[in-house]
Amino acid sequence: MTKEQLYKLLYDVWKKSTKANFSGVGIIICTNTDNLPITNLRDTNPVQNNSTLELLSEISNKNNKYHDGFHILNESGSITHTAQYFSPQIIHDVWFDRSRIVGGRFVAALYGSCIAEIKFTGIVSEGARLSIFSNGKEIHYEELQ
């Protein structure tokens, strides 16, 4: 999955959402999950009968039990894990603009993008701010309208 494909997916999930109930979304593009600092937040997984876009749009709703945490996709864009608590190591020399209002999902995505197996991380906040990260840097930021 390229940066452009991740952007389109994040944007489309936000666009299809019911804005009043949009929970935000966090996505990890990863080659191998064996050593990731993750744990499942739920004891079941959602039924994956639909496309990645459809499933992510459906579960990115505050009323859906799978909305929280991060969702992991392989490089071809297929969902491998949903609703994962993601707790990367704090990396003290990674910079971000603390004058912007950011939350835990933003910082986890930023730090997590330093993990070797992770190609990209991306989020859209409840407030419609889209960010993509790679190698400890925010490589795209946009306020969606």
Question: Could you give the CA distance from residue 53 to residue 10 in angstroms, rounded to a whole number?
Answer: 9
Tell me the pLDDT tens digit for each residue of 109-121: 999 999 999 999 9
Please report, for the domain that includes residue 119, its CATH number. 3.40.1700.10
Tell me the pLDDT tens digit for each residue of 43-68: 998 988 889 999 999 999 999 999 99
Q: Which two tokens stand for residue 17?
A: 């959402």
Q: What is the pTM of this model?
A: 0.95
Tens digit of pLDDT per residue, the chain (145 long)?
Answer: 999 999 999 999 999 998 899 999 999 999 999 999 999 999 998 988 889 999 999 999 999 999 999 999 999 999 999 999 999 999 999 999 999 989 999 999 999 999 999 999 999 999 999 999 999 999 999 999 8
Our count of domains for the chain comes to: 1
What is the span of the domain harbouring residue 102?
3-143
